[in-house]
Amino acid sequence: MERNTRRNFIRKLGATVGAAGVVGGTSILSSCNSVETSSGDKIKLLTSSGELVEVDKSQLTPAEMPNLSENQTRGREGLPGRSWVMVIDLSKCRNARECMKACQNHHQLRPEQHHINVLQMQDAEHTAPYYMPKPCQHCDNPPCTKVCPVNATFKRNDGIVLIDNERCIGCRFCIAACPYSARVFNWFEPRDAEKYKGVTYNIEANVPQKKGTISKCLFSADRLRDGKLPSCVSACPNGVYWFGDRNEDAVTNGTTKETVSFSKLIKDNAAYTLMEELGTKPRVYYLPPKDRAFPFEGELIEHHS
């Protein structure tokens, strides 16, 4: 996985920050991309996750802002040699919804917008219900990309399906074509629109969001470029999510940080994909809810995926 270089760091930051005396630490500053306000000797920076941090103004100097064209080009190419997959262990989910919160914060989503839905499921009348997180399936044969008239949505070489909202015209053909209901339409101005005003569009995070366009799960493609797990995977407290590279046959658990063989994990646990009969070839695999770690709590509500 490609690591942060000094050059990439500067491009994202939009301002060069000295190493000493920085409030918040390098890990936070590495994701800053906008100067918010200035007051006295301190200045506030907005991170890509929506967090506001404050640093000493004397440690900032102007730097090159990210280039939209470069963002779009590398966003369409993806990470060379990678083939990303996700595994979701249904026996571990207890509806904590930390994955949903992290996703909303990372992608500037309004409270009613979700790239991940945690559904309540029940396979038969006499079996116990369980919870099922459902993100975009990032299909190898995605029907959504084939119907877009302006090539705004596409599948890149590492398998992630993205949207370029600088090209999207909001026709919603992709929403109609997706059998997993994985896309949402931005009917209103995005959350914190004023904070992100003037920030260069990042196609791998799909921020700033744009009214009248489509939004969806991205596997946090921008975080993968920084050598990090997707925000939903890292936020889960219960070990539900595994994520990794199919080419390396390795996936890492976002909670325990354990890395195991991807092929062995799905074979030993009889993993399955959703709507396999459609031939879409999803990259999200589910482990059946056997030997559940938590009892189901709450009243079962019917959902249709």
Pairing of strands 250-253, 241-245: antiparallel
- Point out the least confidently predicted range of 96-105, 136-145, 191-200: 191-200
Q: Please give the pLDDT value at position 195.
A: 84
Pairing of strands 241-245, 153-155: unpaired
Q: How many CB atoms lie within 10 A of CB 198?
A: 10
4 by Cβ neighbours in 10 Å (0-12 / 13-18 / 19+) ranks as middle
Instruction: For 113-172, write each residue's pLDDT tens digit.
Output: 999 999 999 988 888 899 999 999 999 999 999 999 999 999 999 999 999 999 999 999
Q: Please give the pLDDT value at position 44.
A: 74
Q: How far, in Å, are 29, 57, 235 from residue 138 at the CA level?
A: 30, 42, 20
Read off the amino acid at residue 79: L
Please enumerate, as own/partner, the contacts of 167-176 that have beta carbons within 8 Å and a separation of 24 or more. Answer: 168/210, 168/213, 168/214, 170/212, 170/213, 170/214, 172/214, 173/147, 173/148, 173/149, 174/144, 174/145, 174/147, 174/148, 174/214, 175/144, 175/214, 176/147
70 versus 240: the higher-pLDDT residue is 240
Distance CA 214, CA 207 (A): 12
The domains located in the chain, with CATH, are 76-287 (3.30.70.20)
Distance CA 76, CA 74 (A): 5
Instruction: For 10-65, write each residue's pLDDT tens digit.
Output: 344 333 333 333 333 333 333 444 445 555 678 777 665 556 778 887 777 665 66
Q: How far, in Å, are 2, 168, 174, 213, 304 from residue 144 at the CA level?
A: 28, 13, 4, 14, 19
Q: Is the peptide bond before 208 cis (omega within 30 degrees of 0)?
A: yes
**Closest of 66, 92, 38 to residue 199, by C-alpha:** 66
Asked if residues 202 and 215 have their Cβ atoms less than 8 Å apart, the reply is no
Q: Please give the pLDDT value at position 289.
A: 94
Distance CA 275, CA 12 (A): 39
User: Can you say how many angstroms the Cα of residue 180 is from the centroid of all Cα atoms in its chain?
Assistant: 17
Distance CA 136, CA 115 (A): 7
Q: Please give the pLDDT value at position 27.
A: 35
Written as six digits, the tokens of 193 are 């629109």
Q: Please give the pLDDT value at position 198.
A: 85
Q: How many CB atoms lie within 10 A of CB 66?
A: 18
Q: Please give the pLDDT value at position 45.
A: 73
213 by Cβ neighbours in 10 Å (0-12 / 13-18 / 19+) ranks as buried
Distance CA 55, CA 60 (A): 9
Judged against a pLDDT cut of 50, whether residue 4 lies above it is answered with no
Give the 3-state secondary structure of residue 9: helix
Residue 8: band (very low, low, confident or very high) from pLDDT cuts 50, 70, 90: very low
Please give the DSSP secondary-structure letter assigned to residue 58. Answer: G
Range list of β-strands (E), the chain: 15-17, 32-39, 42-47, 52-56, 60-62, 84-89, 117-121, 130-134, 153-155, 161-163, 183-185, 214-216, 241-245, 250-253, 259-261, 284-287
